[in-house]
Amino acid sequence: MPDSDNKKSRKPLKNLPQDRFQPRVLFIWLLVGLALTSLLMWSPGRLGAPITLKIQQVVELAESDAIKQGVIKPDLSGGPDWALVTGELREPVPVRPDSEQMTRSFRSAGRLTDSNMERLQRSQRFVEQPATTMWTQIMANVIPFVLIIGLLYFLFVRQLKNAGRGALGFGKSRAKQLTRDRDKVTFADVEGCNEAKEEIGEIVEFLKDPKKFSAMGGRVPKGVLMIGPPGTGKTLLAKAVAGEAEVPFFSISGSDFVEMFVGVGASRVRDMFEQGRKNAPCLIFIDEIDAVGRQRGAGLGGGNDEREQTLNSMLVEMDGFSTEDGVIIIAATNRPDVLDSALLRPGRFDRQVTVGLPDIVGREAILRVHAKKITLEESVDLALVARGTPGFSGADLANLLNEAALLAARRDKKKVEMVDIEDAREKVLFGRENRRLMDESERRLIAWHEAGHAIIQGLLDDGTVPVHKVTIIPRGQSLGSTTYLPTKDILTRPMKKLLDQIAMAMGGRIGEELVTGDLSNGASGDIKQATKIARAMVCDYGMSNLGPVALGDNQDTVFLGRDITRSQHISEDTARRVDEEVSRILREQYERAKELIHSHRAEIDKIAEALLQYETIEGKHVLEILKYGELRSPVVVAPPPPPKKVEEEPAPKEKEKEPKKEPALISPEAIGGAPEPTPA
């Protein structure tokens, strides 16, 4: 790249063009001035010039009852006895003898004697007022101007300024420039996506030293598309690029381009890119680009004409950029499958950066970044928190620590402890504790249901996904839950682990049947989860007697484009065999879980009895019962929430009522538990 272009790319921010004076503002103020002038010229006080009379003529007209009303003011410019008399006649008279213009007002200035003053007062048509000073006249003339101008400013000028740049700027871009001093973000504030940071860091190097890349004959990508689930930090990463490169950063959402008026979106696209050229080198970040970049011609009856015009304008503007412009487009989406193929071709979005969910190391780094804003107890182990939050995004982890801080504040603590983070994690995953009144039979049913899950997981686990906690306290929609804490991130799922997971899901139903001899609807969620896993094994993973064949229906829905009709991939006979294989897997794992539970009947009874006594036990207690047949570690019982105070009428002293036995506070809702969490 030439040196002149290199200097251009290093243009300081202080030389960027500021808001320029626009001619339409001057035009608006001219209209306001003309309106005020016309208002004052045609006010009721100036409808025709008053006739000039002598004081004696005014006195005679007053005595003949020809004056409707009048005002007498001292005239300081004439002398002590001089006065200014103005008023209105009952009948109109000519302004001048030779004029056709008529008027009712009159004016008279001169020496007003005491006798004439008494005669005017006897007519009861005149009112005396004090003399008008120069300051009073100025205020009387200026205040109306100020009030009218202020009213017009707030009614018109401010509305034009705030309502999307007014009607004259309806097609202007709504991209907002990020303020560096206030909203500066660097790579140190972004954790959990090291690979994405390294890949996108080339953009920062190019913006700082473009000659380094041009000397080798290479060029920086014109557009970078960041793909990933919601909350993984795509927007934060784009802000970090702008903060590291110290260049102007414009942010806009894809929905800001789409309007109900045809052509507005395309106009805003052109204005946005023109704004980027003027501030080059700069970054333009388009969030949720799938709102405007969806595939053309998709849906019933074709696509949306306005959205497709906006997309066409964006394609043309991106293809028109050259390397010397120093303008880089960064877009983010969590739906790359619906984007138009022309938008993803080289020359537009040259590079796709995947920002996925963080691993255990990334989660710990993210927690350490957010923990700087929270007062944590020294005993808090963020590595343990990271291990217990598989599948959490960066936004989820930030929310977890925030909930823990709020929970610690409600408990009147000075610092956030590990128990607060643990309770906040369960609240985020399963909902808040919801203790309700429940009879003993339902408590027993839920206890044996959760004990069935826990004992199967404890027997089949090889140490990678141990039982973390078992509780019969309801949270959210579940009446109880058995949670697991993976020791590492699970990236692949072997067939043995999937079968163990199905058997564990069946353990709750078998536990209910074991203690009651009947079935309930509490295992409905477990059955759905097990059926989903078994069908995926047969149709998607090839883990059945049908062989390695993909039998799932991968056809896109009509609103995502392409074909409207769905095609049948498998025959009726194959579909019947698929159903048979799914049923076979479920039956085999049900019998397997049933055999395990019956062979460890004493252990499952002890786990259920511990749940009935303590309501919540930890995973180590389950392992102790399986290994030693009893609990050897103390169980920490969380104190129940304080009951609400209810004001009751005082009982009479003569009759003392016996204290009533309050039922135990336990879990609510239907029997059993909702689907247990699966390791992520």
Report pLDDT for 553: 60
Kindly report the length of the chain.
680
263 appears as a binding residue in the annotation: no
Label residue 466 left, alpha or beta by phi (over 0 means left) and psi (-120 to 50 means alpha): beta
- Per-residue confidence (pLDDT) for residue 39, from 0 to 100: 58
Name the pLDDT band for 488 (thresholds 50, 70, 90). confident
* Secondary structure letter of residue 662 according to DSSP: P
**143-157, 214-228, 503-517: which is most confident:** 503-517
Q: Which of 370-374, 493-497, 651-655 has the lowest mean pLDDT?
A: 651-655
User: Residue 176 pLDDT > 70, yes or no?
Assistant: no
All structural domains of the chain with their residue ranges: 13-41+142-169, 44-132, 176-354, 360-430, 436-561+568-628
Confidence band (pLDDT; 50, 70, 90) for 219?
A: confident
Q: Is 600 annotated as a binding residue?
A: no
pLDDT of residue 45: 41
Beta strands 176-177 and 249-253 are antiparallel
Q: C-alpha dihedral over 334, 335, 337, 338, to 10 degrees?
A: -150
Tell whether 320 is in a known binding site. no
The answer, yes or no, to whether residue 86 has pLDDT greater than 60, is yes
Give residues with Cβ within 8 angstroms of 484, minimum separation 6.
457, 465, 466, 467, 468, 677, 679
Cis check for the bond before 50: say yes or no (omega within 30 of 0).
no
pLDDT of residue 500: 93
Query: Which of 636, 9, 35 lies closest to 283 in space, CA to CA?
Result: 9
Lowest mean pLDDT among 17-21, 69-73, 628-632: 17-21
Query: What are the residues facing 253 on neighbouring strands?
Result: 287
Q: Give strand ranges (E) for 261-377.
A: 282-287, 327-333, 351-354
Q: What is the pLDDT of residue 255?
A: 75
Pick the CATH number of 44-132 from 1.10.3470, 3.30.720, 3.40.50, 1.10.10: 3.30.720
What is the rounded (10 degree) CA torsion for 132, 134, 138, 141? Answer: 40
* Residue 192 annotated in ligand binding: no
pLDDT in tens, 328-363: 888 889 888 888 888 888 878 888 888 888 888 899
| 260 or 187, greater pLDDT | 187
Q: How confident is the model at residue 449 (pLDDT cuts 50, 70, 90)?
A: very high
Question: Pairing mode, if any, of strands 102-111 and 82-94?
Answer: antiparallel
Contact residues for 424 (Cβ-Cβ < 8 A; gap 6+): 400, 401, 403, 404, 407
Catalytic residue chosen out of the listed positions 306, 317, 450, 603? 450
- Tell which CATH classification among 1.10.630.10, 3.20.20.70, 1.10.8.60, 3.90.400.10 matches the domain 360-430: 1.10.8.60
CATH classification code of 176-354: 3.40.50.300
Range in 388-392, 417-421, 639-643 the model is least confident about = 639-643
Residue 501 has pLDDT above 80, yes or no: yes
**Of the candidates 529, 590, 581, 525, the residue with the CA atom closest to the CA atom of residue 551:** 581
The predicted pLDDT at position 26 comes to: 56
Neighbours of 622 (CB within 10 A): 27
pTM above 0.75, yes or no: no
pLDDT value of position 530: 94
pLDDT band at 56 (very low <50, low <70, confident <90, very high): confident
Quick one: DSSP state of residue 338? G
- 10 to each of 4, 254, 282, how far by Cα in Å? 10, 29, 10
**Which residue in 449, 504, 430 sits closest to 670, CA to CA?**
449
Q: What is the mean pLDDT of residues 584-602?
A: 94
The pLDDT of residue 534 is 95
- Count H helices, E strands: the chain? 22, 16
What's the mean per-residue pLDDT of the chain? Answer: 76
State the average pLDDT over residues 76-102.
Answer: 77
The reply to whether 643 sits in an annotated binding site is no
The response to whether 663 counts as a known ligand-binding position is no
More confident residue, 340 or 535: 535
Rounded to an integer, the average pLDDT of 415-426 is 90
Of all helices (H) and strands (E), which one includes residue 281?
none
179 is in an annotated binding site: no
pLDDT band, residue 231 (cuts 50/70/90): confident
Q: Which is more confidently placed, 680 or 165?
A: 165
Range 633-648 average pLDDT: 57
Is 228 known as a binding-site position?
A: yes
In this structure, the strands spanning 665-666 and 467-471 are unpaired
Please tell me whether 233 is known to bind a ligand.
yes
Give the model's pLDDT for residue 160: 56
- For range 503-517, the mean pLDDT: 91
Q: Is 229 annotated as a binding residue?
A: yes
> Tokens at residue 442, please?
């339902």
Q: 482, 416, 414: which is closest to 622 by C-alpha?
A: 482
Question: Has 439 been labeled as part of a binding site?
Answer: no
- Phi/psi-derived region of residue 622, left when phi > 0, alpha when psi is between -120 and 50, beta in every other case: alpha
Residue 260: per-residue pLDDT: 59
Alpha carbons within 13 angstroms on the beta-carbon side of residue 644 total 3
Structure-token pair, residue 261 = 């008026």
**80-84, 396-400, 419-423, 533-537 — which is least confidently predicted?**
80-84
Say what the pLDDT of residue 319 is.
75
pLDDT for residue 577: 92
Q: What is the pLDDT of residue 662?
A: 38
Concerning whether 450 is annotated as a catalytic residue, the answer is yes
What is the model's pLDDT at position 680?
31
Mean pLDDT of 457-475: 88
Taking the CA atoms of residue 343, residue 344, residue 346 and residue 352 in that order, the dihedral angle to the nearest 10 degrees is: 140
**Class of the CATH domain delimited by 436-561+568-628:** mainly alpha
Classify each residue of 80-94 as buried b or exposed e, where b means 16 or more C-beta atoms within 10 Å of its C-beta.
eeebbbbbebeeeee
Q: Which of 605, 612, 632 is nearest to 621 (CA)?
A: 632
